[in-house]
Every structure is written in C-alpha cells, then in structure tokens.
Structure 1
Amino acid sequence: MKAQDIMTKEVICVDMDKRLPEIKQIIETNAFHHLPVVDEDRKIVGIISDRDLLRQISPFIDHASEQPRDVDTLNRAAHQVMTRQPVTIKAETSMSEIISWFQRVDISCLPVTDEEGHVIGIISWRDLILHATFN
C-alpha cells in the first residue's frame, strides 16, 4: 500500500494572505484538522492546524472581556501562523515510510505533493488508523 491508496484527494488549500477568520471558517465547516498553505504558483509553503488556530486566536473573542488586542489576533494572515516547510511525501511513498515519518517527527499529517510541489492529497494519522489491518 502506498500514499496514493489512502490519501484524501480533494484537498482545500489557502493562499498565504488568507486571514484567520476565513481559515477558521474553512476548518470548522469542513471538519478539517489541517489546511495546506500555497503560494501564487499553488506550491505548498506551509500548513496550518486547528491547534495553530487555538494558539493564535484570543480566547476572549466574542466575550464581555474582549479587548482591542484580542480582535487584533484575527488580523493575522496564514503566512504569519503557518508551519513553514512542512514534511511532504510523494504519491508513491510506502506505508512503512509514512509510518516512520509519524514516529520520528511531531506531525499529525503529511501533505502529498507532485514533482513540482503542488498538493495532490493529504494523509493524517486518522487515515492510517482507518486503513490499518491487524493480523
């Protein structure tokens, strides 16, 4: 089994200047945990997780104690909060190598790219569990 066999193929990506409220909406609407960030040539340059949003957006938004500095957290762009140079794999990457990446590096998804660096899929640790076979 290879990456192409288990990856999610319909991946929504955002550009580097997309603002956090829009990113949050995309993640929540689609029940995503990861969102690839691409440049003007649609090549991957980063990744934003739902945890990144939790760290970046003030928890006081829409509460009585909200301050102007809390609202300012919403003005950040994807390029300001993304993890740069994410680990990526190719469609032909073997399951053993995919599992190895998850074990060695503190990541919870692996974007799958073509030879030019365009996102063609994504694999999360949940995908591994869904496709696991136990003997």
Structure 2
Amino acid sequence: MTSELITARVEDSVNRIRQIFEANDFHHLPVVDNGSVLVGMISREDINKVVQLLAFDSKNAKHGPMRAKDIMSKSPLLLDPDDTIGLAADVFMTNKFHALPVVEDNALVGLVTTHDLLSYCFSSPL
C-alpha cells in the first residue's frame, strides 16, 4: 500500500490534474473534499480522454471549465486497512480495477494497486 499520496481536490481544474499526472509516474489519482475524505478517483486514461475532448472545444463553450468533480469516478470501491491481500486481489480481478483506495474512519489513508500486489507476491521466496 502506498500511504504517501498525492491527491486532487474536487475543485481542481482539468489542467491542474493533467499537470499532476505529467509530473508523477502513477496512473490513479484520489480526489478528496476539503479534508481528507475520499469522494472519487481519476485515472490517467480518464484525464487523457477529457483533454482530447476539450481539444475539440478549446474555448470550453459547451462544457465550461471542467473540474475534478466533473470527471472523477464517484463512490469507488474501498478497502479497509485490515482487509486481506486476497480480498484486494479478488476485487481487482472481479472489477478489472488497477487501484483501490484504503479508507479508515472516512479518511483516505492509502492506495493499493495491482503493482503493489504483484510486488508483494514476488518479493518473497517461492
């Protein structure tokens, strides 16, 4: 689990979110409210699609300025810090997700990715 997270705020602009992805080597960005309560997730694929869409409408005439809250996946599936690796693997396989936020007492405390899971599985001797 990654516990030192970079997050977006619900009012962050699409441009700001794009900059976050460009500056970092990750594929999923949790979106939090004014505290640390998780309200959604944005993937690199999500932001790339939105940027392409906005390229056709550079003045944002139809859409207005888009924010994180407009493009995020709302109510993502969550893990609890005490959930097992097996549960995380099952959720990944069943839903074809690649990242799951870890929430404790309504606060975002980490993110588990398929990369984390594979690293764990192959770091111990077979």
TM range, smaller chain: 0.7 to 0.9
Q: Distance in 2 between matches of 1:10 and 1:130?
A: 17
Which of the numbers 29, 37, 61 marks the counterpart of 1:43? Answer: 37
TM-score when normalising by structure 1: 0.82
Structure 2 unaligned regions, length at least 5: none
- The alignment's TM-score, normalised by the length of structure 2, stands at 0.87
**CA, structure 1 residues 35+50, in 2 after alignment: closer, same or farther (shift >3 Å)?**
same
What is the aligned-residue RMSD (CA, Å)? 1.9
Letter in 2 for 1:70: S
Residues 19 and 74 of structure 1 are in contact (CA less than 8 Å); yes or no, is this contact kept in structure 2? no
Q: Where does residue 54 of structure 1 map in the other structure?
A: 48
The aligned counterpart of 2:3 is: 9
Residues 59 and 41 of structure 1: CA distance in aligned 2, closer, same or farther (over 3 Å) = closer
Between the aligned residues of both structures, percent identity stands at 26
Task: Give the aligned partner of residue 113 of structure 1.
Answer: 103
Question: Secondary structure of 2:58's match?
Answer: helix
Q: Which amino acid aligns with 2:74?
A: R
Distance in 2 between residues matched to 1:129 and 1:74, nearest whole Å: 41
Unmatched runs of 5 consecutive residues or more in structure 1: 1-6, 62-66
